[in-house]
Structure 1
Amino acid sequence: MDQTQTPRRGAVPRGLLQTGPVLFSYGFRPFFLGGAIWACVTMVLWIATLAGQIEIASAYGLYAWHAHEMLFGFGSAILAGFFLTAVPNWTGRLPVSGWPLAGLFSLWCLGRLAMLFPDVIGALPAATMDALFLPALLTISAREIIAGKQWKNLKVLIGLGVLTAANLGFHYEAIVIGAADYASRFGISAYITLICVIGGRIIPSFTRNWLAKQGATRFPAPFSRFDMITILASVAALLLWSLSPEGVVTAIVGCGAGALQFARLYRWRGWTTTSETLVTILHIAYLFVPFGFVAIAASALGWIDRASATHILTVGTMSAMMLAVMTRATRGHTGRQLTASKMTNLCYAAILLCALVRPLSAILPAYLVLIYASAGLFWLAAFGLYLIEYGPMLTRVRRQAMG
């Protein structure tokens, strides 16, 4: 989320909006705040529903609702915050702010409200209202990248486009078939692909910048043909998993992609950054990428259940990486020092514990309730602590981003 490219001469500086609500001065502010709040709200509702205290979204399907709101509710908000902050850095164009940003955020909020009450308004109207947001985000991102002539960044639009299509497919499967298995896997695959592409840009860059400040002389390997081969192998593995999650071929390709991703991460020299967790967490979160591919392979062979493999990808890879980017970007774009506080470190510990605890349900089925409860509490701790520390930064003080 920090600037990863040198701005073009005459590029528009960040944070230009100096009047109006601070919350809508830059894209990361409303979407990181809204995404973190929704992460907590949906988990509370999920736990209460599992405990039999409330009933929610029965017209849509409880498990489908939970999966949708984590993937396309919470996840899309954090992705929007990233795109609306990163794209102006890539293009040198004005960021979306003020009323246009408020309007886009309102579309996301409309989707969340609609998906809370499909039993009242109907599953199809709820899905229709939810489906408005991602096409709008895709249109805005495409317009800015094309207008800025950043052709090499068009590839990230493919991932966003797949995610948009997966959301539509999810609604179709959930309403017509009753289980959105294919669309769910395609949605997860879109997120993982974006992490592979964008993570391969920002993680080595941030690591190199930090190491340079420490006087180091050995840096992460630059992007090369090896990285491209790794990304292509990963896309192939994800496509196979999305279409056919079981079988030897899926397992073999998944293992191959996992091995390449382990090697890729090693080339970024993450072990040299352990004195600054704001950098180290990016490497740890990315470590779940190769673990996720190994889990896909194990699931394809029937060694672990499919849900455990899915949660390694969604909680370990997606959510941990999102929290890592949220904390760094919020600090950097509000003028704070790029160093993790004690509370930030607790956020990281909580989300990693959540990622490690949740898959244990396949190994220790006798402790299923305890595992679910523990994972849910760790999730709430991670995003609750983020809201406590970073909420005021997002809403109260307007500061220029650090250069």
Structure 2
Amino acid sequence: MMQITDSQKEELIPPILRLAFRPFFLFGGAFSCIALVLWGFVLSGSVAFSPYGNLLFWHSHEMLFGFASAIVVGFLLTAVQNWTGIPSIRGKKLAVLVGLWLSARLLLAFSISPVWLSTAIDLAFLPLAGYWLAKPIIAVGQMRNLFFIPILVLMSASNLLMHLGVILAMPELYQHGFMSAIWLITLLMTVLGGRVIPFFTANGLGRPKVEAKPWLEYLVLGSTWLVFAIYLTGAVYYLPKSVLGGLLAVCASAHLVRALRWRIWSTLSVPLLWSLHVAYWFIPIGLFLMALAYTTNWLSVSTAFHSLTVGAMGNMILSMMCRVSLGHTGRQLIVKHAIIWAFFAVLIAALIRVFGVVLFSNMSFQLIIIAIGGWCFAYGLFAYVYYPVLTQPRADGRPG
């Protein structure tokens, strides 16, 4: 009997299911546009929408556990193949994971009963992804990257808190869940940023890598972990605001020094680099704004949080999706001009959503709608430009 070779097996799998970044980047990016357009229509009163939970729950949950989680899973299940040398999930297994994610989005949007079914399907996504991520890491004993498994477990716990808030009719519980998730993703960006930004910058500019200073890394990571722990455990509700504000300011200062050492000004000619640096800069900006929100009446905590979500997450996710999609499909790391416009659009959306709303509070609704437009323009361009990249075989003919 003739055996089917690995290359023949690869050809039997649709290109979009050959690595996790393909479906999750494409569907996740497109979904963020759909979710925000719908949110904009709801805010303007143009659409009556009754999703699972309530409108605020759905917006915050879906941008974190619909959009951001999909990109995180797509990135990690792609990267693990490079880390371990063991093929990641593809084909049927990947289809199951994508189907689970899509089913949760539909069930929550249309509030389909029974509630336990919607909750169970949504909660199953991250643990299943974590299982398939852990297998190759454990198989090769790569403890350094095992760090990402607790991250997915904690994200699952934050998701559970949000669902319990709906089931038990306790809004403060689901608010606690999404705030914990935001800090957790910020922690993830802190770790990944420290790994990839100096490396990518050195390679892209052909210069020596900026070496990490151990004392600074301990301060950055330690203070960010501490902030996350304070939120996750609920200690944030008991600490004096002056203490919390001081801790956030220290954490922000450490991130600021770290970002300055990477020299963003030297990357301005390379869009795939400056977009990453800009994203990281929103972390110290967001932390400083959080410190101000807790110690003054100058702005709300919600506005400060949007520096971390629209600013840091929005910019970093777009930049990383573009880079990973090119690199893992055998293409040169050069973005098209349309994507440069997308980088500018999501940056402007973040600046408007954070600083525009603060400086022109009487126009906050209009500015939020403009920010939504900027985000959708950016991520819509990504979906349009990268659709053929993500749905066709690698340009170099290799598997993946």
Do they superpose with TM above 0.5?
A: yes
Measured in 1, the distance between the counterparts of 2:321 and 2:17 equals 16
- Residue number in structure 2 paired with 1:194: 188
Alpha-carbon contact 1:18-1:25 (below 8 Å) kept = no
Alpha-carbon contact 1:252-1:297 (below 8 Å) kept = yes
1:236 to 226, 244, 247: 226
Deviation at 1:96, TM superposition (A): 1.1
- Residue number in structure 1 paired with 2:300: 305
Q: Are 1:366 and 2:362 matched, yes or no?
A: yes
Amino acid at match of 2:352: V
Alpha-carbon contact 1:220-1:268 (below 8 Å) kept = yes
How far does the alpha carbon of each residue in 1:43-79 deviate from its partner, in whole angstroms, 9 at most, with x for none?
1111121222322235511100000000000011101
Deviation at 1:260, TM superposition (A): 0.5
What is the DSSP-based 3-state SS (H/G/I as helix, E as strand, rest coil) of the residue aligned with 1:94? coil
Measured in 1, the distance between the counterparts of 2:9 and 2:146 equals 25
Alpha-carbon contact 1:111-1:130 (below 8 Å) kept = yes
How far does the alpha carbon of each residue in 1:226-250 deviate from its partner, in whole angstroms, 9 at most, with x for none?
2132111112123335531671111
- Residue number in structure 1 paired with 2:131: 139
- Residue number in structure 1 paired with 2:378: 382
- Residue number in structure 1 paired with 2:3: none
Amino acid at match of 2:230: L
Measured in 1, the distance between the counterparts of 2:8 and 2:229 equals 39
Measured in 2, the distance between the counterparts of 1:59 and 1:70 equals 14
- Residue number in structure 2 paired with 1:23: 16
Deviation at 1:318, TM superposition (A): 1.1
How big is the alpha-carbon RMSD for the aligned residues of Structure 1 and Structure 2? 2.1
Please list, as runs of the form range in 1=range in 2, the aligned pairs for 1:138-177 lying within 5 A after superposition. Answer: 138-176=130-168, 177=170
Amino acid at match of 2:71: I
Greater mean alpha carbon deviation, residues 33-42 or residues 172-181: 172-181
Deviation at 1:333, TM superposition (A): 1.2
Deviation at 1:37, TM superposition (A): 1.2
Alpha-carbon contact 1:124-1:175 (below 8 Å) kept = no
Please list, as runs of the form range in 1=range in 2, the aligned pairs for 1:326-365 lying within 5 A after superposition. Answer: 326-359=321-354, 360-365=356-361
Measured in 2, the distance between the counterparts of 1:318 and 1:41 equals 17
How far does the alpha carbon of each residue in 1:218-271 deviate from its partner, in whole angstroms, 9 at most, with x for none?
431236342132111112123335531671111001000110001111222332
Please list, as runs of the form range in 1=range in 2, the aligned pairs for 1:4-403 lying within 5 A after superposition. Answer: 17-118=10-111, 120-176=112-168, 177-179=170-172, 180-212=174-206, 216=207, 218-222=208-212, 224-241=214-231, 243=234, 244=236, 247-302=241-296, 303-359=298-354, 360-400=356-396
What is the DSSP-based 3-state SS (H/G/I as helix, E as strand, rest coil) of the residue aligned with 2:212? coil
Q: Residues 333 and 53 from structure 1, CA distance in 2 versus in 1: closer, same or farther, beyond 3 angstroms? A: same
Deviation at 1:190, TM superposition (A): 1.0
What is the DSSP-based 3-state SS (H/G/I as helix, E as strand, rest coil) of the residue aligned with 1:112? helix
Alpha-carbon contact 2:20-2:74 (below 8 Å) kept = yes
Alpha-carbon contact 2:51-2:108 (below 8 Å) kept = no
How far does the alpha carbon of each residue in 1:79-126 deviate from its partner, in whole angstroms, 9 at most, with x for none?
1110111111111111211111111111111111111111x4254432
Amino acid at match of 1:334: T
The answer for unaligned runs of 5 or more in structure 1 is: 1-12
What is the DSSP-based 3-state SS (H/G/I as helix, E as strand, rest coil) of the residue aligned with 1:121? coil
Measured in 2, the distance between the counterparts of 1:16 and 1:154 equals 29
Alpha-carbon contact 2:52-2:58 (below 8 Å) kept = no
Alpha-carbon contact 1:61-1:178 (below 8 Å) kept = no
Using structure 2 for the length normalisation, give the TM-score: 0.91
Q: Residues 230 and 301 from structure 1, CA distance in 2 versus in 1: closer, same or farther, beyond 3 angstroms? A: same
Which protein is richer in helix relative to its size? 2
Measured in 1, the distance between the counterparts of 2:8 and 2:380 equals 26
Alpha-carbon contact 2:183-2:227 (below 8 Å) kept = no
Percent sequence identity over aligned pairs: 33
Measured in 1, the distance between the counterparts of 2:88 and 2:52 equals 39
Measured in 2, the distance between the counterparts of 1:59 and 1:322 equals 26
How far does the alpha carbon of each residue in 1:353-389 deviate from its partner, in whole angstroms, 9 at most, with x for none?
1111112324322112211210110011010010111
What is the DSSP-based 3-state SS (H/G/I as helix, E as strand, rest coil) of the residue aligned with 1:17? helix
The answer for unaligned runs of 5 or more in structure 2 is: 1-5
